[in-house]
Structures are given as structure tokens and as C-alpha cells.
């Protein structure tokens, strides 16, 4: 969600180099090999076609990535505006992000799928706030846009109406249909993009864009589902993802490996609090507006969800905790939230009273940052560690609308229980199983490129539908 006011089956599968890239140099990237010790094996197998596509992508990235001869040639052409169509073998998509970490990870994944489909090289405009969060995903190369990239200092300031914006050019009738001499274009694909920007999702526009060597893309959303509605990509996507529900799961696990610094935090917390439990239950509580989601409502909703889904044993309020029995089973609840009150209430309940089953329930919360500070590096480090910890849970409860929760559920690889949005009253039922583990795209286009009319795009193909948490959003399933 966008804050308007602020800014595979066995251990060997995970350890194997057949899906993941092998190491990349500067960071040992312990998580790439050690995640197998913490994560449940994925029940979803990537297609062999996806695996081979990733290997070819890695070759492309190595050949065209920062500081290679091809990259230098492309930069020269970008600077001069003179494109040599015969020699410019590499084309790029530069991701420029905004908003919280969940939003950014979803839009990077969308940009990566677009890069895979269009044989472009993905480069990330990394500002300080995101530095040192992830390992380099591609071997023997970097995905970080070099500091000396000619437009580097301007990227942050690119707005929707920037002169080189494809949407604006379309609006102003400035598109030259040959597009031969355009060295770069800016694509605005954020939550508030307009219908001209959204023409990006039309096949005829993709044919034009394919001629432009540098595409600079600003996005904070999971704009990937509409790519599944385009005939240009249809065949390829079916081969890559026979199971549409696993797109983020596979691409997210491929791209996002915690850096050694973040991995240290994750593994330390895991060993200190989660490792010994028989069952780990993650509850992600995202409050967008304290006024519309008062504490009491949210707490009652969480307790109602726990009861309805039998996530935790009931407590015996008549009794107080004496000593835990020896042959107890134990459940650990990992609460993540910007606020501390929900954790405190749950901890008090299970700390003061025994459960009806005799099980011991422990409740932990790694941090309570108080407010979103996505421009702080350490805040994003903490957020990434918590997203990852949630993804290690046996059962996961997420909050409606939250990309933080979407990333955790996608990396985890199973459908979450979603706490539905409070709209004046506590929803009934309070939570429900997601129809798919795919993230929701909050701001999809409403334009049917073929029919040239507005349409409900959730009705066009069988594997795209509206999200369970946002009526107008769409998701793969
Ligand atoms: P969304 O706003 O819920 O869609 O998720 P985002 O990740 O895009 O933005 C919210 C940001 O607020 C996160 O990236 C964190 O920086 C912060 N945040 C929200 N909830 C939590 C939480 O439970 N734990 C921590 N550490 N940070 C959080």
C-alpha cells in the first residue's frame, strides 16, 4: 500500500545452483546457501524453462552489466543521443523506486519480469536508504546502477510529467512512431499513473518501446499482472509460469537474498526466539490509519481470527500460570507491527494464564518502530529482517492492503490468512484464506487495448481476478 503522506522440494533444491545464481563476489551472501536451514522446502517447482531463462539472463547481465564494454558503448549513445542500431546490442531497464520496502520489492520484481520478457538488463537506482539490504542477485556482475550514470542525479526528481515521459509524450502527441532516434524514455508506472502512462500495457506500445535502448521506470507497485494480459508476452509467460500463482514466489526467492548484515539479524532472532517452537505463527499487523482502525477494533479482530482459525489454544482465564508442564508443545507467535500494543496484549494473555490444552504459547515482537521511515537505511534493514522472519512461519496472518505482508506471504510460498480491512466495524468473518499467494496490484489499468475501451480487466483471462483485500486491485491465481 502507498502512504500518500510520506514519502523447491528438498534441501538440495534450495542449495542447488540450478535455480539460484551462484555467488557474486563482494558479499559472501551466507543467506543464499543457508536459507535452506531455516525455510521450509518450497512446495512449488520452477519450470525448467524458467530456470534456463534465468541462466540466459545472467549471461546477458554479465555481458551488458555495469562497466562492461557493451555498457560503456550504450552510455556513450545515451549521452550523445546518437544510436547505432547495428552495434547497440544491449538494452536496459533502470528501476527507480519510491515508498516502503514491500512496495519497492514488488515493483523491482515486476521490472525484472519485464526485463526477462524483453531481453533487457535490469539496473537498480539504489539510494542510500536501500544500500546493503540484498546480495547481488546475478553472478559476476552488479545490478546497481553506477554512480556515474549520466542521469543519476536527476532520477529522483523525475515526475509523471517529465519531458521524456512516454505517457506525457503520448498525451502531447509527441510520439514519433519510428522511435528510432530515442535514446531513452521514462515510464511512470506508479500507483497514480494515468491512462496514457498505462498504455505501456498495450502490445502496440511495446513494439515502439522495444526500439529504445534505455527505459527508465519509476514504480512502487506490483505492476506485473497486466503483462499476463498482453499477447506479446502470453506464450512466453505460459512457458515460464505454468502455475500463475507462483510468479512472485519464484522471482522473489531468486532475487532477494538478505545481505550478510541482515542475515545476521534474522538468524540471531530466529535462534533466540523461534527455533525451538513446534509451530511458528506470524501475525503482521499493519495499521494505515489509527483513526479508522482503532486499537480495540483491530485487537478484537485479531483475537476473533485466532479463535475462528484455531491458530492458538484458548486460555483459561480462571487460572493463573504456575509452572509449565514438562511434556508441553509450544507455539511461538511472531508479531510484527509498527506499534507495541497488540503484542503486549497477546503476551499478557498467554503469559498470565495457562492454555486449555496445556500448551505454552510465547509471543515476540522484534521491533516497534512507531512510524514508517523508509528513507532510513537501518529502518529498512529492520523491515527486511522482519519480512523474512514472517516468511519462515508455519502459519501466517497478514493485513489487508499491505505489500509488506504480500512479500512475506510470497516468499513463504503458501496462501496467507488475511485480516480484512476494518471499515467502520470489525469485518465478519474477521479474516479469510487468500485465493492465491500472489501480491495484489493496487492500481491496475482499466483500458482494454484491443477493444479500445474501458473494461474490468479482471474478467479478460481466467488466471487474473480481483484481490480479496482490495476490490479494484487485480492478482494472478
Ligand atoms: P505497506 O505500506 O504495508 O504496503 O508496506 P511497505 O513495506 O511498502 O511500507 C511500509 C513500511 O513501514 C515498511 O517498509 C517498514 O519500513 C515500515 N513498517 C510497516 N510495518 C512494519 C513492521 O511490522 N515492522 C517494521 N520493522 N517496519 C514496518
Which residue's CA is the closest to the ligand 1 atom numbered 25?
383
Which residue's CA is the closest to the ligand 1 atom numbered 9?
100
Q: Which of 383, 386, 443 should be mutated for ligand 1, with most atoms under 8 A from CB? A: 383
Does the N-terminal peptide bond of residue 89 adopt cis geometry, omega within 30 degrees of 0? no
Provide the CB-side half-sphere exposure for 89 (13 A, CA): 9
Q: Are residues 168 and 278 in the same domain?
A: no
- The residue out of 217, 240, 255 marking a domain boundary is 255
Query: What spacing in Å lies between the alpha carbon of 386 and ligand 1's midpoint?
Result: 9
Report the distance separating Cα 428 and Cα 165, nearest Å: 44
Q: What residues form DSSP beta bridges with 465? A: 475
Q: In the prediction, which pLDDT does 16 show? A: 39
Q: In the prediction, which pLDDT does 337 show? A: 98
The number of helices, as runs of H, and strands, as runs of E, in the chain is: 14, 14
Q: Are residues 180 and 293 in the same domain?
A: no
**Short-list 31, 6, 11, CA closest to 385:** 31
In a 3-state reduction of DSSP, which class is residue 301?
helix
Report the distance separating Cα 255 and Cα 201, nearest Å: 24
Q: In the prediction, which pLDDT does 9 show? A: 28
Q: Are residues 86 and 234 in the same domain?
A: yes
Which residue's CA is the closest to the ligand 1 atom numbered 8?
100
Q: Which value, in Å, is the radius of gyration of the alpha carbons in the chain?
A: 23
pLDDT at 324 over 70: no
Query: What spacing in Å lies between the alpha carbon of 97 and ligand 1's midpoint?
Result: 15
pLDDT digits (tens, 9 = 90+) for 366-386: 999 999 999 999 999 999 999
ipTM of this predicted structure: 0.99
Report the distance separating Cα 449 and Cα 235, nearest Å: 18
Q: Are residues 300 and 184 in the same domain?
A: no
Report the distance separating Cα 341 and Cα 332, nearest Å: 18
The set of residues, in sequence order, having a beta carbon less than 8 Å from that of 472 and lying 6+ positions away, is 442, 444, 466
Q: Which of 98, 99, 100, 376 should be mutated for ligand 1, with most atoms under 8 A from CB? A: 100
Which residue's CA is the closest to the ligand 1 atom numbered 22?
337
Match 560503456 to its residue by C-alpha cell: 72
Give me the sign of the Cα torsion angle 113, 114, 117, 123: negative
Residues with CB under 6 A from ligand 1: 1, 3, 99-103, 286, 336-338, 367, 369, 372, 374, 379-380, 382-383, 386, 402-404
Does residue 442 form part of some domain?
A: yes
Residue 357 belongs to domain spanning? 260-476
Which residue's CA is the closest to the ligand 1 atom numbered 7?
102
Q: Are residues 32 and 69 in the same domain?
A: yes
Q: Average pLDDT for residues 101-112, to the nearest whole number?
A: 98
Q: Please, what is the Cα angle at 398 between 115 and 345, to 5 degrees?
A: 150
Q: Which DSSP category does 22 fall into?
A: P
Does residue 6 form part of some domain?
A: no
pLDDT at 88 over 70: no
Q: Are residues 29 and 135 in the same domain?
A: yes
Q: By the 8 A CB rule, do 287 and 335 touch?
A: no
Report the distance separating Cα 311 and Cα 281, nearest Å: 8
pLDDT digits (tens, 9 = 90+) for 170-190: 988 887 666 667 899 999 999
Q: Are residues 341 and 398 in the same domain?
A: yes
pLDDT at 418 over 80: yes
pLDDT digits (tens, 9 = 90+) for 40-79: 889 999 999 999 999 999 999 999 999 999 999 999 999 9
**Closest atom, ligand 1, to C-alpha of 337:** 23
Q: Nearest 5°: phi and psi at 48?
A: -65, -25
Query: What spacing in Å lies between the alpha carbon of 380 and ligand 1's midpoint?
Result: 8
Q: Average pLDDT for residues 114-139, to the nearest whole number?
A: 97
Per-residue confidence band for 326, with pLDDT thresholds at 50, 70 and 90: low
- pLDDT > 70 fraction of the chain, expressed in percent and rounded: 91
Report the distance separating Cα 251 and Cα 262, nearest Å: 20
- The residue out of 255, 275, 297 marking a domain boundary is 255
Task: Count structural domains, the chain.
Answer: 2
Per-residue confidence band for 30, with pLDDT thresholds at 50, 70 and 90: very high
Q: Which of 110, 283, 372, 379 should be mutated for ligand 1, with most atoms under 8 A from CB? A: 372
Give me the sign of the Cα torsion angle 388, 389, 394, 395: negative
Amino acid at each position: 500500500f502507498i502512504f500518500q503522506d510520506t514519502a523447491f522440494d528438498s534441501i538440495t533444491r534450495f542449495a542447488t545452483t540450478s535455480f539460484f545464481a551462484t555467488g557474486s563476489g563482494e558479499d559472501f551472501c551466507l543467506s543464499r546457501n543457508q536459507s535452506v536451514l531455516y525455510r521450509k522446502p518450497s512446495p512449488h517447482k520452477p519450470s525448467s524453462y524458467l530456470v534456463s531463462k534465468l541462466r540466459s539472463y545472467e549471461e546477458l547481465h554479465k555481458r551488458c552489466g555495469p562497466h562492461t564494454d557493451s555498457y560503456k558503448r550504450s552510455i556513450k549513445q545515451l549521452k550523445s543521443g546518437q544510436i547505432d542500431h547495428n552495434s547497440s546490442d544491449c538494452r536496459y531497464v533502470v528501476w527507480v523506486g519510491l515508498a516502503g520496502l514491500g512496495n519497492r520489492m514488488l515493483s523491482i520484481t515486476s521490472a525484472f519480469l519485464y526485463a526477462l520478457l524483453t531481453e533487457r538488463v535490469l539496473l537498480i537506482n539504489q539510494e542510500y536508504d536501500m544500500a546493503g539490504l540484498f546480495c547481488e542477485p546475478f553472478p559476476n556482475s552488479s545490478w546497481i546502477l553506477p554512480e556515474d550514470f549520466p542521469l543519476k542525479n536527476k532520477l529522483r526528481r523525475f515526475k509523471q510529467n517529465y519531458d521524456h515521459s512516454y505517457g506525457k509524450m503520448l498525451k502531447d502527441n509527441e510520439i514519433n512512431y519510428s522511435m528510432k532516434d530515442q535514446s531513452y524514455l521514462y515510464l511512470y508506472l506508479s500507483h497514480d499513473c494515468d491512462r496514457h502512462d498505462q498504455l505501456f500495457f498495450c502490445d502496440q506500445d511495446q513494439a515502439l518501446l522495444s526500439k529504445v535502448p534505455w527505459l527508465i521506470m519509476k514504480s512502487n507497485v506490483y505492476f506485473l499482472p497486466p503483462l499476463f494480459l498482453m499477447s506479446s508476452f502470453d506464450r512466453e509467460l505460459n512457458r515460464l509460469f505454468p502455475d500463475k500463482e507462483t510468479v512472485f514466489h519464484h522471482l522473489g526467492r531468486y532475487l532477494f537474498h538478505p545481505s550478510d548484515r541482515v542475515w545476521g539479524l534474522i538468524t540471531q532472532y530466529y535462534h533466540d526466539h523461534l527455533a525451538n517452537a513446534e509451530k511458528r505463527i506470524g501475525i503482521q499487523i499493519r495499521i494505515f490509519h489509527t483513526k479508522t482502525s482503532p486499537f480495540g477494533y483491530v485487537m478484537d479482530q485479531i483475537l476473533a481470527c485466532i479463535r475462528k482459525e484455531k491458530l492458538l489454544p484458548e486460555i483459561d482465564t480462571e487460572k493463573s500460570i504456575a509452572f509449565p508442564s514438562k511434556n508441553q508443545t509450544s507455539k511461538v507467535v511472531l508479531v510484527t507491527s509498527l506499534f507495541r500494543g497488540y503484542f503486549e496484549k497477546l503476551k499478557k494473555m498467554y503469559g498470565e494464564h495457562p492454555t486449555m490444552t496445556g500448551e505454552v504459547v510465547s509471543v515476540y515482537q522484534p521491533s516497534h518502530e512507531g512510524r514508517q521511515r523508509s528513507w532510513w537505511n537501518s529502518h529498512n534493514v529492520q523491515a527486511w529482517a522482519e519480512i523474512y522472519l514472517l516468511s519462515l512461519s508455519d502459519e501466517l496472518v497478514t493485513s489487508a492492503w499491505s505489500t509488506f505482508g504480500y512479500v512475506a506471504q510470497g516468499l513463504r510460498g503458501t496462501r496467507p490468512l488475511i485480516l480484512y480491512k476494518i471499515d467502520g466495524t470489525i469485518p465478519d468473518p474477521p479474516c479469510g484464506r487468500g485465493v492465491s499467494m500472489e501480491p495484489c496490484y493496487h492500481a491496475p489499468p482499466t483500458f482494454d487495448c484491443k477493444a479500445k475501451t474501458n473494461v474490468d480487466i479482471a474478467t479478460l483471462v481466467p488466471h487474473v481476478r480481483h484481490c480479496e483485500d482490495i476490490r479494484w486491485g487485480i492478482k494472478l491465481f
